[in-house]
Amino acid sequence: MKNPTYEKMRNNPKFHQLVKKRSRFAWTLSLITLVAFYGFVMLVAFRPDVIGTPLPGGSKFTFGLVVELAMFIGFWLMTWFYVRRANGEFDALTQEIIREAVHGGQQ
């Protein structure tokens, strides 16, 4: 049994726009994460000497530590960016789609 409200939502061009935008955004962030993470793992596997290289100036910190901390911070920032966009643009578009399906575009 099909719900007519859901059918209106699925047939709305804004719904297709939302799915396309959200999917493209999520896949882009996923690709960035996978490349960074697996790139670091490959570096550890094939060039461990680079990971253990101390930073210039007699620092006790190594290149690998700084890169990993930067990745950790970057992943948190990407998560924040996704949540911000999801709670803003994507939720607003979702509410428009629901309103149009239930009330025919009227409030």
pLDDT attached to residue 107: 52
Tell whether pTM > 0.85: no
What is the C-alpha separation between 60 and 79, in angstroms, rounded?
A: 30
Q: What is the pLDDT of residue 15?
A: 92
Which residue type occupies 76?
W
- Segment 21-49, tens digit of pLDDT: 999 999 999 999 999 999 999 999 999 99
Dump pLDDT digits (tens) for 39-76.
999 999 999 999 999 999 888 899 999 999 999 999 99
